[in-house]
Amino acid sequence: MRLKSLGIIAAGCSALLFLAMGPLTAADAPAVVTAPDTIKMESKIYKKHTKGVVTFSHKKHAEHKGVSCTDCHHVYKDGKNTWKQGDPVQKCDACHTETGKPPKEMAKKDVIAKYHKEAVHENCKSCHKKMVDKNSDMGKALKACTGCHPKK
């Protein structure tokens, strides 16, 4: 009888230990980073936005248009985008810090690297231009600012 009681106690302790290990193991697992469905493309480098602030839909672009995260998010090293899903995401203005009009004599790649508006427009517009042939509603953003920027 005593041996049977010890067996029951041992089995109970094992079960408790097993249940306690679940949350500890889950705490060690890397967190899955998910993008919010939509983001406002606001930037604090501008005193005032001249157009309505674009609301970008991660969900619409990823699910319905087939856009991958690295089509927008980037960290360039030796000319290659080394950013991958799960890496920290910086706002565009972390690197593209200049406002205003770039000097006309600047090379396009240097303008895009420095100037926020040009970098964002180049990224968005070049993708939309590629997609126009495949999906006619993508062209609206290229024809009028209000295709993406809401009226104020």
Ligand-binding annotation for 149, yes or no, is yes
Spell out the long-range contacts of 90-94 with Cβ–Cβ below 8 A and sequence spacing 24 or more. Answer: 91/43, 92/41, 92/43, 92/116, 92/119, 92/120, 93/43, 93/44, 93/45
CA distance 11 to 112: 66
Ligand-binding annotation for 61, yes or no, is yes
Ligand-binding annotation for 58, yes or no, is yes
The type of residue at 45 is: I
Ligand-binding annotation for 145, yes or no, is yes
Ligand-binding annotation for 121, yes or no, is no
CA distance 149 to 141: 9
Ligand-binding annotation for 64, yes or no, is no
Ligand-binding annotation for 116, yes or no, is no
Ligand-binding annotation for 49, yes or no, is no
* Known binding positions for heme c: 58, 61, 69, 72-74, 95-96, 124, 127-128, 145, 148-149
* Known binding positions: 58, 61, 69, 72-74, 95-96, 124, 127-128, 145, 148-149
